[in-house]
Amino acid sequence: MKADHTNYFSRIGIGDEEVNKKINACFNTIFFDPEENFFHETDPDSACMVDTGNTDARTEGMSYGMMMCVQMDRKDLFDKLWQFSKRYMYHENGKYEGYFAWSVGLDGKHNAEGPAPDGEEYYAMALFFAEARWGNGEGIFDYGSQARDILRHCVHQDEMVAGGRAMWDRNNHLIRFVPEADHSDPSYHLPHFYSLFAERADEADKDFWKQAAEDSRRYIALSAHPKTGMCAEYAEYDGTPVLRFGKNFSFYSDAYRVAMNIALDTMWFGRRKETAQVATRLQDFFYGIPAEKYMAYQIDGTPAAEPAMHPVAITATLAAASAASDSAYADEYLREFWNTPMRKGIRRYYDNCLYFFCLLMLGGRYRIY
């Protein structure tokens, strides 16, 4: 199947030139703006993406930054982020050998030892794209072999490392929230990545990744509420919400990414009725709620007494849903997103990462390499 590189903003009268200008401006803000960037050079050859709300570097942001760079053809920045990741976050031994510590200080000191699987899957995909776009180098810059090694650990850690645990449950092909957990995070499910892993990872795991892609598509639909389309941040393998970290609500920051993931899977590998329904229900539920009124919610739509921490991220991902949605309001979400500026201030990191990815995909520039 040929990937869809439609400029969805053309539906609201925005041409390719204007879209490209906005994408470039967004990238430049994230990496170079003296006030609003969150790209931080730490050594002459390395750099990190700073979670500005927590003043740390996370595998989520590091791998996101690498994906941004390979999409925008910035090998120089990509290599600096990868160097930091391998130098300061990578585990050479112990039960997490082959994984990355999910949070480190800007000096590289570990805040936590355990990994977060959404980082590993983005690292692997960004590295495969780097291999295809720029070719392999030596050592850690042999991008393809590095990606395959990451995925080998993700699937077989328990077989490879004493005391280790795989990031995927091989019995149901579902990604775990963390290796120690026997539940998932719906926003971690990237079936469009897994379909490509089936082609590029170890040949022995080809069938595993094919099945993981299909099972993840089913899981997204299973974990989404049948009326609102909302998924929980964390969920059991049967889709039932799991409450963690003292929260009494389940549709919150992580969960916003589900709509973005459905959109990209639709663009790259075609539309599926079950996930299109999720996108449609989300847009129908949120229609008429202004961004300043976004809250934390139960997945049935019941609001909690907690404002959304990342309202710009909600705006961006609801617009991304337009690539899959049948909602009568789909174009209005595109217009709302186009007219929404990037977030400024201390919480800008997460919002603007999702802002960039949604802008890139809706502009038709999020490519398979």
What are the residue numbers of the active site? 60, 254
Helix (H) or strand (E) holding 118: helix 117-134
Could you give the CA distance from residue 103 to residue 53 in angstroms, rounded to a whole number?
A: 13
Q: Where do we find the tokens 């699987």?
A: 117
The dihedral formed by the CA atoms of 302, 306, 310 and 311, expressed in degrees to the nearest 10: 60
Please enumerate, as own/partner, the contacts of 69-75 that have beta carbons within 8 Å and a separation of 24 or more: 69/126, 70/126, 70/129, 70/130, 70/133, 70/134, 70/369, 71/129, 71/360, 71/365, 71/366, 71/367, 72/27, 73/133, 74/31, 75/130, 75/134
Could you give the CA distance from residue 56 to residue 50 in angstroms, rounded to a whole number?
A: 6
Could you give the CA distance from residue 109 to residue 121 in angstroms, rounded to a whole number?
A: 23
Q: Is 246 helix (H, G, I), strand (E, B) or coil?
A: coil
